[in-house]
């Protein structure tokens, strides 16, 4: 698999004619993948890539702040909910790629729901990750369910992302609301708050910190754990027994993009199997949206997870996001721990 992936990288780098121009990208996947995407696309096309790495919540805030004078051409990666909110807010533009029939149903569905203002490029379920060595050393049984996280023995041992900056955190709130009902979900979040040591800025932060022994448990997407395991850290992930939601990592063209032709060229490139296989080359293990992209055994198996029927249209609306995050800030984050 590794030879195949790196052969694909080499093939992309060696693509023919070089073009002039520049494209400005906000990248909301992990930095390693952002850097590889930037390098391979630039080398294979000759187009200069100016790239900024931001969590999806921060990316949405930046795009909204600069909407009168956009400095970004493409928003690549990050959870789909804020991409759908950007579409609703008029921050992104409609673009129907000829590659859409090559994509998985969930990616095509998201594009249709937004009037083709965003498209799915990968997916991954929300999970509970933990440090296996630290868990064994303390002779503790790892959590398998959402309910397990409320056990007082985990006080100060859990990290989760902050919904003000992280799309992962918003998916967590929206998942729990759909799973439990809103009031019960917020009762759960208040109880969980007592065991939280830190709300991280990024969605991957809780897993990175658990891998390094800063905390035992991290709430994050399940594909974050094999990233850290691939780097030699003792961390694994479960998908919660009651059920869980999934992100649709997305890509959008920015309304008023200064470098539109270059942006469209990047957009089309990013939907190809070879470009999506760069995720594994960068030790990232989301499920790619292009059906022809080769899969890696370390990617989370959706067939083994109990998935809820996540309402991407409802929870992708800016009003719902603002309301739920506001309620979390008022009722949960304001509480002592």
Look at residues 52, 54, 67 and name the one whose alpha carbon lies nearest to residue 165: 54
Element (H, E) at 32: helix 31-45
What residue ranges of the chain have pLDDT lower than 50?
A: 1-18
Handedness of CA 97, 46, 5, 36 (dihedral sign): negative
Res 19: pLDDT? 54
Give the whole-angstrom CA distance, residue 224 versus residue 218.
Answer: 10
The pLDDT value recorded for residue 51 is: 97
pLDDT at 291: 97
Q: How far is CA 166 from CA 63, 160, 171, 216, in A?
A: 15, 10, 9, 20
pLDDT of residue 20: 74
Closest of 197, 195, 189 to residue 154, by C-alpha: 195
pTM of the model: 0.85
Q: What is the pLDDT of residue 64?
A: 97
CATH class (in words) of the domain with range 2-123+248-303: alpha beta
Sequence spans of domains, the chain: 2-123+248-303, 124-245+317-333
Contacts (Cβ under 8 Å, ≥6 apart) of 15: 44, 45
Same fold, 2-123+248-303 and 124-245+317-333: yes
Cα 135 from Cα 130, distance rounded (Å): 8
CATH topology for the 124-245+317-333 domain? D-Maltodextrin-Binding Protein; domain 2 (3.40.190)
What are the residues facing 228 on neighbouring strands? none
């Amino acid at each position: 698999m590794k030879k195949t992936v790196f052969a694909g990288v080499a093939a992309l780098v060696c693509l023919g004619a070089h073009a002039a121009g520049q494209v400005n990208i906000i990248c909301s996947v992990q930095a390693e993948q952002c850097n590889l995407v930037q390098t391979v696309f630039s080398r294979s096309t000759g187009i200069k890539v100016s790239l900024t790495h931001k969590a999806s919540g921060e990316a949405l805030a930046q795009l909204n702040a600069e909407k009168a004078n956009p400095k970004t051409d493409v928003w690549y990666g990050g959870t789909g909910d804020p991409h759908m909110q950007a579409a609703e807010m008029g921050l992104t533009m409609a673009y129907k790629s000829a590659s859409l029939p090559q994509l998985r149903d969930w990616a095509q569905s998201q594009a249709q729901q937004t009037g083709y203002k965003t498209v799915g490029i990968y997916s991954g379920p929300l999970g509970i990750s933990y440090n296996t060595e630290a868990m064994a050393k303390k002779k503790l049984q790892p959590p398998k369910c959402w309910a397990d996280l409320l056990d007082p023995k985990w006080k100060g041992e859990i990290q989760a992302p902050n919904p003000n900056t992280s799309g992962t955190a918003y998916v967590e709130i929206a998942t729990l609301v759909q799973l439990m009902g809103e009031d019960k979900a917020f009762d759960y979040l208040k109880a969980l708050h007592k065991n939280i040591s830190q709300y991280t800025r990024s969605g991957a932060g809780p897993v990175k910190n658990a891998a390094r022994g800063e905390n035992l448990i991290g709430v994050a997407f399940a594909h974050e754990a094999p990233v850290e395991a691939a780097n030699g850290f003792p961390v694994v992930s479960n998908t919660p027994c009651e059920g869980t939601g999934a992100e649709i990592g997305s890509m959008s063209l920015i309304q008023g993009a200064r470098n539109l032709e270059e942006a469209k060229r990047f957009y089309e490139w990013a939907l190809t199997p070879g470009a999506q296989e760069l995720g594994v080359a960068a030790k990232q293990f989301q499920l790619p949206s292009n059906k022809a992209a080769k899969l890696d055994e370390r990617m989370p198996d959706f067939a083994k997870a109990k998935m809820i029927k996540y309402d991407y249209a409802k929870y992708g609306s800016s009003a719902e996001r603002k309301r739920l995050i506001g309620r979390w800030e008022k009722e949960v984050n304001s509480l002592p721990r």
